[in-house]
A and B are shown apart, each in its own frame.
Chain A
Amino acid sequence: MSQAFDPKRNYEETKKAIAYVNRKEATQADYDRIGFMSGLEVHQQLKTSKKLFCNCPSGIYQASDNFDAEIIRHMRPTLSELGEYDGTALMEFKTKKNIIYRINNDTACTYDIDDTPPFPINREALEYALQISMLSKLNIVGEVHITRKQYLDGSIPAGFQRTAILGVEGEIQLKNKKVRLIQLSIEEDSCREISDIGHLRTYKTDRLGIPLIETVTYPDFVNPDEVKEGADYIRFLNRSTGKVETGKGSTRADTNVSCRGGSRVEIKGVSSTKWMPELTHIEAFRQYALLNIKSILETKNLDNDSWKISSEEIDLNEIKFTYQAIKDAKEQGHKCIAVNLRNFEGILSHYTQPGQMFADEITNRLKVIACLEKPNLIHSEQFEKVLREKKFEKIKTKLGSKEGDAQIIIWGPEEDMPTALETIEERCIMAMEGVPEETRKSFKDGTTIFERVLPGADRMYPDTDSAPIPLTEDYIVSISETLPIDICDRYEQLANWGIPEDAKEYILKKNLVPLIEKIERELDISPKWAGIFLAHRLCNVEHNSKFSKDFTYSLVFAMLHYLKDNNLDLELAKKMLWELYRHPKMDFDSVLTTLNFRRIPKEEIESRIPFLREKYKDIATSSDPGAETRWIMGELRKTAAGNMNLSDLKIECCN
């Protein structure tokens, strides 16, 4: 390491070199410059009573420690057609994970753990999924073929997910453009991960097998905001059927992102669309940064084929570390190895994401592939040194490091070290080639970390346990007759009603248009009033109250119905809503009593006006002609609110 090298400065300079801009300041020109491209895979759980391929109840979740039995499995890669292992397969096999499944009898059976063949597909789920396929303007297949899609991470005990295509080549209409859909499939949901530490990964099986659909778009999105718009559209479309789960985690999207010259990277399981813009923005720039690393390495004239790491074991008795993680490693009898990366100075501290540098790409791969828990490395370009310069020099001498090299020190169980060294070398060589295809895990701040190698296409094969399901013309027609209207038409409908922009998302997210239509039809209340009442008032109540599991939207209808029947003013609903949400079982008379509301006929209230007018003459202090009305209104408002329309009262006061 040359004396002059300053990792902090290098980080800032490389960030500047790729002209990174914050999303808030980014324009379409920035995205065009880096060639932003993105597509979506939106997963949506269906609201059915049973799971997709067995008769277990669907949609029941359990705590991680609530289980009746544990089963242990290992996932072996199967040979592909060419006798080679798929990239993911090989990685997962290298990790040698013991996979434990926690099973609760209430939510899982022998099918879930792959000890019983599948039962015929859940027809209820198939019907809902077909409705959504038709709304997505897809070409519906003539016969459904159940396919096995391999997953070696253990998230499905069989090692594959049963999935089937229902339609191909559809489209959705966004505000300014059409986005094409590749396909829609119906599939079983996977297990939920409890933990993944070292060589042990634990899953629970409650979510496993819940019917799920996946809508896949073409990579038609050219900026992060479009990604969110598209995801929202698909989400609202799914919900407009009223046949899908809407709870936490019931909608999850994988976001595919690349920049020009980059690679397809899949950001997994983003459960809120509001995180998508930041995630896709940061990822596209991460790829742009990796391409910059590639061109820097090209100028160094390294030979990709012969470039190798060199390493030396460090005797922890000889070189004493004060760094806690290495002290712990010594105590546990783990190995510690120093690695030399020839000509890699300036790469480890190269900018990748806000708060992350290239060395983080290595550390996260070590965690996943070599099962080394973090922190698992220290290196020569850290901002804060954990090793004194003299000791580092000693290690560099041992490694035979030259000027312009970089160094990494790793530690961990002896048996994991060969994989760890391979992983470091592999990632460095990939840096010379550009952007590796990966799936990445997302964080709320918009950054991502390595999760798995992106699986290849060769992992699909027919399910020999199930017969094809024909979709007859009659059946398709009968389903098409039950469809709600398109989401793009819904947007127009809301605009025509005069619903403000900020209220639309809530109404579509909760699929409230049918309720608003019913309120208009049966209670003669304007859709604008009803829409704003729901999207502003109810939304506010929901945000500021404890979750109420017995509250339903039909209660809102019943409340408005009650007010109409009793000739009460609708404004009263705004106050009643707070009580009703907290006590959904309380009858409406009691709700009013709780609010200290007293029924007084309109005529009686109006009859007090002459007295108050006389009284005002005694106490009047202002010559403003409006002052009298204001004072009388002030005196009557409390009594009148709810009993009559206040505008009407004001008119009476003026007379």
Chain B
Amino acid sequence: MSDDIFQGYKGKALELLKKYKVRVWGKCVVETTRGKFEGTVLPRSENDDDLHIVMKIITGYNIGVDVETISSMKEVDYKKANYKIPEKEFPYTDGLPQVKLFGTGGTIASRLDYRTGAVIPAFSPGELYGAVPELAGICNLETEKVFAVFSENMGPKQYISLAKAIEKEIQNGVDGIVIGHGTDTLQHTAAALSFMVQNSPVPIVLVGSQRSSDRPSSDAALNLMHAMYTAGHSDIAEVMVCMFGPTSDEYGFLHQGTRVRKMHSSYRSTFRTIGDTPIASVTRDAFTPIKKGYNHRRKDKEVTIKPYFNDTVTMLYYYTGMKPDVMMSMVDMGYKGIIIIGTGLGHVNKELYPALEYAKEKGVSVFMTLQTIWGYVHMFVYDTGRDMMAKGVIPLGNMLSETAYVKLGWVLGQTDDPEKVKEMMLTPISADMTEREPYNGYLVYQGGASEVADFIKRVHK
């Protein structure tokens, strides 16, 4: 812990702090060739250089002082930051549904430490109540941290422990489940839970935020309210992703867990249902159904858990000029399943055919999905498609490639018989493949067209 005194400092900057006996959190006066600076020394980010010392000045701003210019430093006071989060008891209200919130490490609600700028996650019911008091009017809440990983580190192990935790809660009679999750891999977890948790009697809602709740314009609080309301009050017993519909603070969409995709790196309304419409839209106190067919809430506590996963699955994003050795290496490395993401209706060039044959020969299951994201794989339209099918490539309809990857891992976790694998892959479990694409599913509102411009102007984005 002794290192904490100089949190994040290294090299020249660290030497200087030691020389003048100045600690992080020490209030100090620094004399430099550029004049005098006064403030509190702050920790330095590990990735920043060793040539500057960061200080918070009296007006609240942070500045950096160049170590080359420093002629003296004097610590005049010292006050260590305190990271404690305030907690208020989450009130219990008779008659409100019981919702369980699972934490996975993503921060949906958080508060700021103004001295350090650190974002401290709020997670316990008490902390959440402090941050979003409106939740108390929606449901009674219990929370549980299942694990703490960054979104990009979520994987098969986490899917399985989440599925088991959900099973336990359903058996305990909870009215709905919310899972707080980072947004980068939200769709993968949603797909995995769609396969691993089948026939749930209650809603299972995954939620995240695109703007952390340390900013006043954050989408976190509203997303959380929408998700809690959905889990506690909706009739939709599906695995769903609940995120902003428009970028405006107006309503959220409930997306089917297998059909949802993050479509923008930073927009609030980044999640879109692909190849279908969202199940419903949700506000703080109402649902508007969009899709007709979904599983309804039940009173029983029955649920089927299939917590299996084999991670010898990979994906191959096809590009023009791809050589067969890429795919052959995958087979040689021992992968048992490959999801190809092909061009157009689901194609790769002829040069790859030997690799397809090699995979078939080695008993590797190969499936075709689409780079176009929207639409169905159609391998009958051109000869090449038929050639590929003859070489064992199986088209996956309108299954999203990420969903296909997750499903193939889940299937291979249960069987290694190629015929059985094919059969299971082609049997829809949770709308992962649908028979029909509604005419209003594919709506990419592209600016520029006059009708769309008019629409955007009239309706809140």
Contact = CB atoms under 8 A, between A and B. Distances in A.
A141 interface: yes
Contacts of B113: 81, 461
Given A82-B86, A165-B63, A70 B457 contact: yes
B266 A117 contact: yes
A142 B34 contact: yes
Contacts of A470: 49, 51-52, 64, 66
Contacts of B37: 139, 141, 168
Interface centre among B61, B68, B447, B461 (most CB of A within 10 A): B61
Contacts of A82: 86
B62 A83 contact: no
A113 interface: yes
B211 interface: yes
B446 interface: no
- What is the interface of chain B mostly: helix, strand, loop, or mixed? loop
A476 B69 CA distance: 12
A319 interface: no
A134 B411 CA distance: 67
Interface stretch (A151-159, A279-287, A544-552): A151-159
Residue of A75, A81, A147, A149 with most partner-chain B CB within 10 A: A81
Given A457-B60, A461-B114, A169 B217 contact: no
Interface stretch (B180-188, B247-255, B301-309, B326-334): B247-255
Q: Which of A76, A157, A464, A467 has the most CB of B within 10 A?
A: A76
A160 interface: yes
Contacts of B69: 142, 473
A72 interface: yes
B124 to A, nearest CB: 13
Contacts of B217: 73, 75, 114, 157-159
A73 B249 contact: yes
A74 B130 CA distance: 18
Nearest to B217: A159
Contacts of B52: 142-143, 468, 470
Contacts of B130: 79, 83
Contact of B59 (A113, A143, A160, A183): A183
A143 B217 CA distance: 28
A330 interface: no
B457 A169 contact: no
Given A68-B457, A110-B266, A79 B131 contact: yes
Contact of A70 (B68, B114, B222, B460): B460
A115 interface: yes
A157 B69 CA distance: 38
Contacts of A473: 66, 68-69
Interface string A539-572: 0000000000000000000000000000000000
Interface string B209-251: 0010111111001100000000000000000000000111110
A142 B64 contact: yes
Contacts of A71: 246-248, 460-461
A383 B65 CA distance: 60
A141 B64 contact: yes
Contacts of A147: 60-62
A178 to B, nearest CB: 16
Contacts of B321: none
Contacts of A183: 57, 59, 61
A164 interface: yes
A80 B247 contact: no
A21 B427 CA distance: 88
Contacts of B267: 110, 115-116
A533 interface: no
Contacts of A467: 48
Given A81-B113, A105-B447, A113 B36 contact: no
B216 A76 contact: yes
A115 B247 contact: yes
Interface string B22-58: 0000000000101111000000000011011010010
Contacts of B66: 142-143, 470-473
Interface in B122-162: 130-131
Interface string A104-132: 01000010011111000000000000000
A104 to B, nearest CB: 11
B293 interface: no
A158 B215 contact: yes
Contact of A462 (B59, B117, B248): B117
A67 interface: yes
A472 B66 CA distance: 8
Contacts of A78: 111-112, 213-216, 218
A174 B52 CA distance: 35
A569 B185 CA distance: 79
A66 to B, nearest CB: 11
Given A75-B217, A78-B112, A69 B456 contact: yes
B64 A144 contact: yes
A182 B39 CA distance: 13
Interface string A313-355: 0000000000000000000000000000000000000000000
A24 B156 CA distance: 79
A494 to B, nearest CB: 30
A80 B60 contact: no
A585 B115 CA distance: 58
A456 to B, nearest CB: 9
Nearest to B215: A159
B290 interface: no
A150 interface: yes
Contact of B216 (A152, A165, A460): A152
A83 B86 contact: yes
Contacts of B280: none
Contacts of B86: 79, 82-83
Nearest to A92: B216
Given A147-B62, A470-B52, A72 B250 contact: yes
Among B54, B66, B82, residue most surrounded by chain A Cβ atoms (within 10 Å): B66
A160 B214 CA distance: 10
Contacts of B263: none
A143 B63 contact: yes
B378 interface: no
B453 A74 contact: no
B85 interface: yes
B185 to A, nearest CB: 19
Contacts of B67: 142
A39 interface: no
Contact of A159 (B112, B131, B216, B248): B216
Contacts of B266: 110, 115-117
Nearest to A157: B217
Nearest to A468: B64
A590 B439 CA distance: 68
Nearest to B265: A116
Contacts of B61: 145, 147, 163-165, 183, 185, 460
Chain A to chain B: the 4 pairs with minimum beta-carbon distance, closest first: A143-B64, A83-B86, A159-B216, A139-B35
Given A71-B248, A81-B114, A83-B130, 11 more contacts: A68-B457, A79-B86, A141-B64, A142-B64, A145-B54, A158-B217, A168-B57, A169-B35, A458-B60, A461-B114, A468-B48
6 contacts: A67-B457, A76-B221, A79-B86, A81-B82, A147-B61, A457-B59
